Amino acid sequence: MNALLALLVLPLRAPMLLVLLVVSGYLGLHWADVAPQLLEQASTPLQQQLAGPWFWPLQSLQALAVVVFCAMPDVLLRELSELMAASKALTLVVTLLIVITGGLYLLHLAVLSEVLVLASAVLLARLDLIRLRIMPAPWLASLGLCAWVLLGIGVGHQLQHQLGGYLA
């Protein structure tokens, strides 16, 4: 009973968790507003397919990737450096993958800004949890923050549909 109460009071003790929920809710609001516009502007079949049923899974996957990277950067960067130390070919492949991905995000600055805002909110939430001396295992922290962000995105999406687009 005490553990459940402590979990329910955690957003009040760590206010950056509430900020993270608001940021992810805003992303859900924004994506619910942008998705129909992208579908109307799509000119090729591939664009129509990506803007249609694949829009939400791809956006959610992007958000989850940001949360996982920000929730356990030490583990991921250690594994990445060990992978790159294994061979020069893997170093080249990983470097090219990072540069190409970064370049694609720079081509679409609106997407880059969304990713940076979400990453900042996740890192602030982690710092707030560390201030409270709550340091779960990296995979558990990642799982919890992913669930929290998806909850915020879902609430924002539902709020946009309940209000009929008045927030746009």
- pLDDT tens-digit series, residues 21-78: 999 999 999 888 877 776 677 667 766 666 677 888 888 999 999 999 999 888 888 9
User: Whole-model pTM?
Assistant: 0.85
List pLDDT tens digits, range 1-14.
Answer: 787 887 788 888 99
Task: Name the token pair of 138.
Answer: 């990296």
CA atoms within 13 A on the CB side of 64: 13
Asked if 42 contacts 48 with a C-beta cutoff of 8 angstroms, the reply is yes
Confidence grade of residue 105 (pLDDT, cut at 50, 70, 90)? confident
Share of the chain above pLDDT 70, in %: 90
Please spell the DSSP secondary structure of 25-53, one letter per residue: HHHHHHHHHHHHHHHHH--SHHHHHHHTT
Least confident of 34-38, 57-61, 102-106, 145-149: 34-38
